[in-house]
Structure 1
Amino acid sequence: MSTDGAASLKVLVVCLGNICRSPMGEAVLKDVASKRGIDIEVDSCGTAGYHVGEEPDERTVATCHKHNVPISSLARQVKTSDFTYFTHILASDESNLRDLQRIKPLNATAEVRLWGSYLDEKPIPDPYYGGIGGFEKVFQQCTTLSNTFLDQVTKST
């Protein structure tokens, strides 16, 4: 996309605590984009600060490793500057989307949407309180959503 070395597509994937869905979404989106040759910058965060500074849930890491997707992130909470730095902010579910809309500053330039709005309007369910099967389902959903998102945002370039 960009030829000056800086990604013109900057995406922030958001869930509640930034240890399950959003770090997995970040890793999967980076991996899918890399395999497709798309220049992109991806980060993730949570709307809440419950796990700031922590690594992703071990089940998130295990699921990514099972699929040979590199994952490396530390949990952080969304900040107002994210709304002008990133081009797209992808919420994992409606609750996080509402929280993002509530804190979105007036000068926001990022497109803030439910990630599922690029496909089927379905939220990404929080797998935290379930078993490893829930993490596998989230991985598959993130893979599908990554491809659909990239198809839509890169078709004009």
Structure 2
Amino acid sequence: MSAPNPQDVKVLVVCLGNICRSPMGEAVLQHTAKQRGLDITVDSAGTAGYHVGDEPDERTTAVCKKNNVPIDSLARQVSTSDFVKFTHILAADENNLKHLQSMKPSNSTATVSLWGSYLDGKPIPDPYYGRASGFDDCFKQCVRLSDAFLDDVFGKEN
């Protein structure tokens, strides 16, 4: 099977509030894809609407900037139209995956999965209430997961 056209791949990264893990995942996946010469669409959202319209947590932004990864997003909540608009919806953890599966409409065309299923099956721990080092760990995990996802979708040569 040949790799899809990168422009046909549309990915939504999802966590709870869309201010820590998912905007970081969006930024890292977009950056990693560009480094590979792949022009894919990446967005992020939260299963909860706590922070709709907010910028990413300042610790998320700081870690991305420290690693020269551009980040520019505003929090939004997942909508049922996302299940048709995106080809892949990647959940940060099992709770968000369950929430996504419970709201998935019958006309969904997206593959909905735990992002970690592309690598080691591990969730991305929420760094929000922890130390700054948790954001560094989250970033490193997003890099590994981005590589694993892109390898799976496009093959290791891309």
TM-score (norm 1): 0.95
What root-mean-square deviation, in Å, do the aligned CA atoms of Structure 1 and Structure 2 show? Answer: 1.4
Distance 2:29 2:111 in 1: 17
Distance 1:40 1:151 in 2: 14
Matched, 1:26 2:1: no
1:120 paired residue number? 120
1:97 paired residue number? 97
Structure 1 residues 8-37: Cα deviation after superposition (integer angstroms, max 9, x where no partner): 110000000000000000000000000000
Measure how far apart 1:131 and its partner are. 1.3
1:47 paired residue number? 47
Measure how far apart 1:118 and its partner are. 0.4
Specify the SS of the correspondent of 2:12: strand
Specify the SS of the correspondent of 1:7: helix
Specify the SS of the correspondent of 2:44: strand
Residue identity opposite 2:121 in structure 1: E
Measure how far apart 1:39 and its partner are. 1.6
Specify the SS of the correspondent of 1:126: coil
Number of aligned pairs? Answer: 154
Measure how far apart 1:155 and its partner are. 2.3
Runs of 4+ off more than 6 Å:
none
Structure 1 residues 82-105: Cα deviation after superposition (integer angstroms, max 9, x where no partner): 000100000000000000000000
Distance 1:144 1:38 in 2: 17
Distance 1:35 1:13 in 2: 19
Q: Does structure 2 retain, via aligned residues, the 8 Å contact 1:90–1:114?
A: yes
Matched, 1:7 2:18: no
Distance 1:120 1:155 in 2: 17
Distance 1:26 1:52 in 2: 16
Structure 1 residues 21-59: Cα deviation after superposition (integer angstroms, max 9, x where no partner): 000000000000000001200000000000000000000
Measure how far apart 1:154 and its partner are. 0.7
Residue identity opposite 1:116 in structure 2: G
Residue identity opposite 1:143 in structure 2: V
2:80 paired residue number? 80
Q: Does structure 2 retain, via aligned residues, the 8 Å contact 1:19–1:55?
A: yes
Residue identity opposite 1:59 in structure 2: R
Specify the SS of the correspondent of 2:133: helix
TM-score (norm 2): 0.95
Distance 2:8 2:132 in 1: 35
